[in-house]
Amino acid sequence: MVDLKYIGHSAFEFKTKDKSILVDPFVSHNEKYDYNKSNIVDIFVTHGHADHLGEAVEIAKAKKAVITAIPEVAAYCTSKKCKTRPVGLGSWINYDWGRAIFLPAYHSSSLPDGSYGGVAASILFDIEGVRIFHAGDTCLTPDFKTYKEIYRPNIALLPIGGNYTMDVEHAVVAADWLGAKTVIPMHYNTFPEIQADLNRFAQLMQVNNTNCAILNPAEIKQD
């Protein structure tokens, strides 16, 4: 069993019985979220942009957690004295709570100092048998059809805000192609250019017969 907590934007905490995993920890905008309350052992970063790297460096140091990221992003975090695990796209990486695989996202990646961040990633997690696909920032891609076939994700976390990523209409298609029974929208309404119509998303998902879980930040979903 894994608890899924939406912190806001693209930040999530996945909680097992005794450990927490943070993804894209841009958490400073959510005053209700306190990472000190969680036993965070691993932090995943999909790409180097500030709204995804977020407070990864600060949290990794405070919690003695390991940051897993594409080599360029990992090297930046190493230079800030964090423990890191640099990984490329395409292979399962094992952890004591399960495993994860970095997959391509169609987006750019640079670091806060302006340096190149390598490729952007989506990340698929297999945590105690629950498969969670965090799309990161990406457009719609037919890769999703392959993920349905190979990985069978249970839960998909999809950006819907448009402008930098796919929008509501494309995310509905993405949900269908991925075949996840639960879809949680992310990466919307944080900035003026990524406003999204949540009701419309929920309605379109209903037509698709997919459970659309719209989470308020810091709400907990159990699976």
Site residues (vs Zn ion, CB under 5 A): 51, 137
Rounded to a whole number of angstroms, the minimum distance from the CB of residue 114 to Zn ion is 17
Query: Sheet harboring 92-95: ordered strands across?
Result: 92-95, 98-104, 121-127, 130-134, 155-159, 182-186, 211-212
Output 98 or 118, the one with its CB closest to Zn ion: 118
| Rounded Cα gap, residues 105 and 21, in angstroms | 20
Rounded to a whole number of angstroms, the minimum distance from the CB of residue 194 to Zn ion is 8
Output 25 or 98, the one with its CB closest to Zn ion: 25
Output 149 or 193, the one with its CB closest to Zn ion: 193
Rounded to a whole number of angstroms, the minimum distance from the CB of residue 51 to Zn ion is 4
Rounded to a whole number of angstroms, the minimum distance from the CB of residue 190 to Zn ion is 8
Output 53 or 155, the one with its CB closest to Zn ion: 53
197 Cβ contact partners less than 8 Å away, ≥ 6 residues apart? 168
Q: How far is CA 167 from CA 11, 175, 185, 189, in A?
A: 18, 12, 10, 12
Tokens representing 96 are 């004591």
Rounded to a whole number of angstroms, the minimum distance from the CB of residue 49 to Zn ion is 5
Output 51 or 176, the one with its CB closest to Zn ion: 51
> Taking the CA of residue 179 as centre, how many other CA atoms within 13 Å lie in the half-sphere pointing to its CB?
13
Could you tell me what percentage of the chain is helix, strand and coil, using 3-state DSSP and rounding each to the nearest 5?
25, 30, 45
